[in-house]
Structure 1
Amino acid sequence: MAYSWDNRCNFVVKYLYDTDSNGILEQNDFECMALKMTILEGKGLFNSNRHQENLHVMLSLWDEIAQIADFNKDGVVTTEEFKDAVQKCCIGKSYAEFPQAMKMFIDNHFKIVDLNGDGLIGVEEYRYNSITRIPIANIDTIDQAYQNLLNDDDKRRGGLTLSRYQELYAAFLGDPTDKGPAVHLFGPLPENC
């Protein structure tokens, strides 16, 4: 099932962290993500100060993931090791209880998705983020996922705030069921990530 907890964890590894698509996580993936975040934040411009900040966040995230997930200490984290770590650190927990580096990543990711910097992730930004990550053939599929994500307050505001994004991200990883709006956080997910 596309929205099962297992598939959502696979999605995070495959589409968010594993930048070189080799099926494992390693420090290089997080160094590449730092550069990607810097370029995306700058909309093509490179700011070395922001790159150093992003590099710090991403290497801290890697260190945290490696510490809790690299069980055999071989310098790589497999998808199964990642899932075991997420199960221990995130299931049933709120955003406030997540590891610090993961919270920094979530906050930085919000900034990247919020393309116009207005503090809300609107439908256009959601569409852009979804389509750049996975192949989707129908706009209605993306728009329906977005509508499923929103609660009444989100609709009144015109999108997701940072605090709402944090709440949804925590549920995306921390709710073992395939129910609830958070399963749509990254758009319509492919089956068998």
Structure 2
Amino acid sequence: MAYSWDNRVAFIVRYLYDIDNNGYLDAHDFQCLALRTCILEGKGDCSAARLQKYEHVMLSLWEEITQLADFDKVPDYDGTISVEEFKQAVKNSCIGKKYEDFPQAMKAFIETNFRMLDINADGLLGVEEFRYDCVQRMVVDDIKVIDDAFHSLLNDDDRRKGGLALSRYQELFAQFLGDQSDNCQANLLFGPLEL
């Protein structure tokens, strides 16, 4: 059940987008996400130019999500996106699609997320970076669980490279959102999921 499509999409809302943890998405989440991304990618530095770039990316993503997901639009638009509305938008725009066919702002977010996770900026998401990302979101008492999750994502080419390149991360992210099966390879892209 933890790896059902519904739970995976709810995970995206809860841990990647709903920054203030109030149970729904709004513009404030994406403004905070821009600042968080700028600081994390800059390893504490937050230049005005980089912040402006991320504000553009994240607010474009918010606008795209509202176009795809706010099914209770004007005249009663409440400025929020519920988890159920987000799931329906993902279902409409991502199920069965490859990364290249995803909405543009979502692709920009995925690329930005990869850069943020690539702490050493070597173009690969390695096991140490994967660990760092996972422990920020979940309670883990055994590193082996995280390492096993990481290694389950790797194909032979990834192993040769020493981790996940951007193109592979994009492919796995697309599977995470676009494959409705409970056992797709990308289930562990964000580590072991909770219900």
Give the TM-score of the pair, scaled to structure 1.
Answer: 0.98
Give me the CA root mean square deviation: 0.6
The residue type equivalent to 1:3 in the other structure is: Y
Once the two structures are superposed, the pairs formed by residues 42-53 of structure 1 within 5 Å of their partners are 42-53=42-53
Which aligned runs of 4 or more in structure 1 are off by greater than 3 angstroms? Answer: none
Once residues 47 and 185 of structure 2 are traced to their aligned partners in structure 1, the CA distance between those partners, rounded to angstroms, is 35
Once residues 3 and 166 of structure 1 are traced to their aligned partners in structure 2, the CA distance between those partners, rounded to angstroms, is 19
Q: Gapped runs of 5+ residues in structure 2? A: none
Aligned residues: 191
* Correspondence for 1:166: 170
Q: Percent identity?
A: 59
* Correspondence for 1:175: 179
Once residues 27 and 105 of structure 1 are traced to their aligned partners in structure 2, the CA distance between those partners, rounded to angstroms, is 15
Q: Residues 150 and 181 of structure 1 are in contact (CA less than 8 Å); yes or no, is this contact kept in structure 2?
A: no
* Correspondence for 1:39: 39
Once residues 136 and 128 of structure 1 are traced to their aligned partners in structure 2, the CA distance between those partners, rounded to angstroms, is 12
Once residues 180 and 77 of structure 1 are traced to their aligned partners in structure 2, the CA distance between those partners, rounded to angstroms, is 27
* Correspondence for 2:3: 3
Deviation track 1:104-160 (CA, whole Å, cap 9, x = no partner) reads 000000001100000000000000011112222210110110011111111111000
Deviation track 1:62-88 (CA, whole Å, cap 9, x = no partner) reads 000011101102210000000000000
Q: Gapped runs of 5+ residues in structure 1? A: none
Give the TM-score of the pair, scaled to structure 2.
Answer: 0.97
Once residues 5 and 136 of structure 1 are traced to their aligned partners in structure 2, the CA distance between those partners, rounded to angstroms, is 23
The residue type equivalent to 1:98 in the other structure is: F
Quote how far apart the aligned CAs of 1:179 are.
1.4
Match of residue 95, structure 1, among 83, 93, 99 = 99
